[in-house]
């Protein structure tokens, strides 16, 4: 609906415009968060287009944070993030499931605990960044797998997203997305092969 005249607003609506006796206009400041976008797929490893887009956004001058929860690498982790295009901070877990055979992880409780702690450390870092408002875009790659594995608490994720302070978009990727998170999304994209 488009309103073409200020006369259409009721006089009691002080959230829009308030005129004081000296004819100065006071406007209420609205804090606007970016959108929550969810990319879902039936299989892992289908999000290369999102990584391509975040590289492009960083090259265009936007401050981007890419977190990959389930992927790791040599000398990765929060302290060893990769910087690209001057504006993209790319962080992978310092210890991840993709680095080991699944049987090896199940047979080694210390290794499994280390992987869980590494992913949870990334989540705590993400929470701080989502609340800081310092980034134009934040991508949380495969966060839904971390939820499914009970490494990250779903209510903690929902609360953090509700209280985020970011002018740009938050992009979440994964499979098996909980319904209450789907309901929070401004955009849902299903990737198919």
Cα gap 45→27, rounded to integer Å: 46
Least confident piece of the model among 22-36, 65-79, 172-186 = 22-36
For the entire predicted model, the pTM comes to 0.77
Confidence of residue 25 (pLDDT cuts 50, 70, 90): low
Q: In the CATH scheme, what is the homologous superfamily, with its name and number, of domain 34-191?
A: P-loop containing nucleotide triphosphate hydrolases (3.40.50.300)
Per-residue HEC secondary structure of 167-186 comes to: CCEEEEEECCCCHHHHHHCC
Nearest 10 degrees: Cα torsion 110, 146, 62, 131: -90
In this structure, the dihedral spanned by the alpha carbons of residues 57, 62, 65 and 71, taken in order and rounded to 10 degrees, is 20
Helices (H), the chain: 48-59, 102-107, 109-132, 143-148, 154-162, 179-184
> What does pLDDT average to over the chain?
80
Cβ neighbours, 10 Å, residue 116: 17
Is residue 44 pLDDT above 90, yes or no? no
- Residue 139 confidence (pLDDT): 95
What is the reported pLDDT for 67?
Answer: 93
Confidence of residue 60 (pLDDT cuts 50, 70, 90): very high
Residue 5 has pLDDT above 70, yes or no: no
- The pLDDT of 176-182, averaged and rounded, is 90
Q: Kindly tell me the burial class for residue 111, based on how many C-beta atoms sit within 10 Å of its own C-beta (0-12, 13-18, 19 or more).
A: middle
Phi/psi of residue 100, nearest 5 degrees: -130, 160
Calpha distance 110→104 (Å, rounded)? 11
Q: Residue 68, SS3?
A: strand
pLDDT in tens, 96-134: 777 788 888 888 899 889 889 999 999 999 999 998 888
Domain edges within the chain: 34-191
pLDDT band at residue 73, thresholds of 50, 70 and 90?
low
């Amino acid at each position: 609906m488009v309103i073409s005249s200020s006369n259409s607003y009721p006089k009691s609506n002080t959230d829009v415009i308030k005129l004081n006796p000296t004819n100065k206009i006071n406007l209420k400041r609205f804090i606007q968060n970016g959108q929550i976008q969810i990319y879902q797929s039936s299989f892992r490893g289908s999000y290369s287009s999102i990584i391509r887009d975040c590289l492009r956004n960083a090259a265009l001058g936007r401050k981007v944070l890419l977190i990959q929860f389930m992927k790791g690498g040599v000398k990765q982790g929060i302290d060893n993030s990769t910087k690209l295009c001057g504006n993209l901070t790319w962080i992978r877990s310092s210890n991840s499931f993709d680095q080991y055979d699944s049987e090896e992880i199940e047979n080694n409780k210390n290794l499994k605990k280390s992987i869980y702690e590494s992913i949870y450390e990334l989540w705590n870092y993400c929470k701080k960044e989502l609340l800081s408002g310092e980034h134009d875009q934040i991508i949380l790659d495969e966060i839904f797998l971390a939820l499914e594995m009970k490494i990250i608490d779903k209510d903690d994720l929902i609360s953090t997203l509700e209280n985020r302070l970011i002018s740009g978009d938050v992009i979440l990727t994964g499979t098996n997305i909980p319904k209450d998170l789907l309901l929070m999304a401004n955009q849902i994209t299903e990737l198919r092969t």
